[in-house]
Chain A
């Protein structure tokens, strides 16, 4: 036993797979300790906040400031309000009003702005321009003016009793606050999802649930497969015929179809993560049964098993000491594959809308389902779906690697 494990850990493929899987498991266990809280808490209003650090504007106004004179601060400011679309629209305005733009370079901010200041007039109503478009130019103009002209912003508070506004503080262009001094800072490495939840926290929790689903489904499938395989292979005869009949039938009927039918038959409020895992396990035992059965059949008539039988050992003891150790490596490998396909099956079911009920725990499949329902892939919110896909891929990649690594250890013909 000890020797086998040492041998397995000498396979580089197995070790790489094991390390990836262990890293995922560790993150899953440690992250909730660093960042505790309910993963389904909706912290943000609105959908899909971008990843990044958010500082409270309210708190930063009252935080102590330092003055920095940074040369390109103004340019940065203008660039942050003038995106490429705005620049094209500005040039369009010039052309509509017959102003020569042949020498204007669209990326030259200084010339563009000075021309804008010289020619723009909100009272001109160019023919064919919609009101919405005219309003857009007005807004753009006032935004530019704000950045170009105002040097000092005044923040004031309304007195509750008198209704008068009272100046609290003024903000100059050169004022900076240290992020560490601001009372409320939220860092969202993966932004928020469509419900305004912290995606990273949700992802870690979902990963845990999905691995749990995979483990339960894998255990159930392996247990059923092992039991039926031992029964059919060791006892043989009529029992074997029955086992093989069911195995053959369920090999042909796609397990995905069974999953859909069973999941649909269970009401959604009874469909917890564990139920889904159980159903997945119940539909994916076929492979293990087939393999265990054929292995046991070849073991049944080996000398050591016959000797055991002649010595009057019980059936239980023969199976436990003379048969199981020989098929253990195979069963472990099959279990690893079942875990990986269980995680995948949950994700596919959830995408069809047949996953676990949505109120308690997130799973990787449910996160994917939500992201797709809210069109994250069409509106550019990559953080809502890409980490999920990557995580599923890495979990099954690590499990597959461990499986091939073990395969090479136990099947010397496959070694490099």
Chain B
């Protein structure tokens, strides 16, 4: 178990370091910009506000929230302490709701939409890629260009196409939202059915794109492994094809797990934009609303939460990788 412990300790330390860096980036970026961040934000917020006292009030509120009169390291401490208390400030677009409150209701929609979609897309993509590498010939000739094209369509483009075809023209799916607009979230049967109906289009738009990218990656990994020397040697030994294929795909899967960990940040970014198309009540739509209303505290809170989500996902994948990678496994016996 010593190997595992060392591996995990290293991973946890990295997780904490990157978490601290993410906090720092989120804190520093708006403060690094030339000029006074508070007046810049107030300038955006105050477009169309004519009363001078109202603008001064806004300025004072933000100055207090940012604590610009204090030295930077002290500001950072206040920021971290507030975060620990779960306080991310007050939203200005949806005053007087708390940022933590808004994000708390949006985050579950995003998690329940994106994680199943990315995992289903990853699994289907890997199966198709492995089949393409194994069967080759016609299947491969068709699948390769099609997957390449699908992975080239931007997530929001796929979302718009699905929306227009299935919701506007065929009218078999709802156009927008996470549940019927005439409903209040509760645990009734009718509400759940409505949620499932609204779930379909955003879900498939993410899955279809993920399939394309993963299939290409898995195909080249599998071809690479199928041409490796150990496969030829195993064939000479007369080991059955099915057994060889199992070894080959297990080896090809390992880089795919890392690939998923590395591409998860990009995928989440694309999927967040796809949410806007469907007005899905998740974090993507929250950021969009925050940008249109110049709601700085909400943007900062949402981006921090997304970073933390991606961090945790990558951490989990690292742990999974530790269990399935033979090299880490072998370290146990040292």
Contact = CB atoms under 8 A, between A and B. Distances in A.
Interface in B2-47: 14, 17-18, 21-22, 25-26, 29-30, 32-33, 37, 40, 43-44
A256 B277 contact: no
Contact of A255 (B22, B30, B269): B269
A400 B43 CA distance: 42
Interface string A250-291: 011111111011101111000000000000000000000000
Given A257-B303, A264-B291, A380-B168, A393 B154 contact: yes
B156 A251 contact: no
Contact of B288 (A341, A352, A385): A352
Contact of B18 (A249, A260, A341, A397): A249
B307 A348 contact: no
Contacts of B276: 351-352, 372
A255 B216 CA distance: 23
A338 interface: no
Contact of A257 (B149, B163, B292, B306): B306
A377 interface: yes
B277 A260 contact: no
Given A258-B25, A352-B287, A380-B168, A265 B30 contact: yes
B17 A413 contact: no
A386 B32 CA distance: 39
Interface in A329-381: 340-341, 344, 347-348, 351-354, 368, 372, 377-378, 380
A258 B168 CA distance: 35
B261 to A, nearest CB: 9
Given A252-B311, A377-B168, A414 B224 contact: yes
Given A266-B33, A348-B273, A385-B160, A392 B268 contact: no
Nearest to B37: A265
Contacts of A264: 30, 291, 296, 299
Interface in B132-182: 136, 148-149, 151-154, 156-157, 160-161, 163-164, 168, 175
Given A256-B266, A257-B307, A347 B154 contact: yes
Interface in B75-94: none
A248 interface: yes
Interface in B285-334: 287-288, 291-292, 296, 299-300, 303, 306-307, 310-311, 314
Which of B14, B154, B223 has the largest count of A CB atoms less than 10 A from its CB?
B154
Given A256-B265, A377-B164, A400 B148 contact: yes
A253 B148 CA distance: 26
Contacts of A413: 223-224, 227
B262 interface: yes
Contact of B265 (A254, A266, A347, A416): A254
Contact of A261 (B30, B148, B277): B30
Contacts of A351: 156, 273, 276
A386 to B, nearest CB: 8
B49 to A, nearest CB: 17
Contact of B266 (A254, A340, A353, A414): A254
- Interface residues of B: mostly helix, strand, loop or mixed? helix
A352 B277 CA distance: 10
A393 B311 CA distance: 29
Interface in A34-61: none
B160 A377 contact: yes
B18 A389 contact: no
A407 B40 CA distance: 47
Nearest to B272: A256
Interface string A389-416: 1001110110011001001000001101
B135 to A, nearest CB: 13
A21 interface: no
Nearest to B296: A264
A353 B285 CA distance: 12
B291 A353 contact: yes
A351 B21 CA distance: 28
Nearest 4 interchain pairs by C-beta: A256-B269, A254-B265, A389-B157, A397-B152
Given A254-B307, A397-B149, 16 more contacts: A256-B265, A256-B272, A260-B287, A261-B30, A261-B303, A262-B29, A264-B296, A265-B37, A340-B152, A348-B154, A348-B273, A353-B288, A380-B168, A396-B154, A397-B152, A400-B151
Interface of A: 248-249, 251-258, 260-262, 264-267, 340-341, 344, 347-348, 351-354, 368, 372, 377-378, 380, 382, 385-386, 389, 392-394, 396-397, 400-401, 404, 407, 413-414, 416
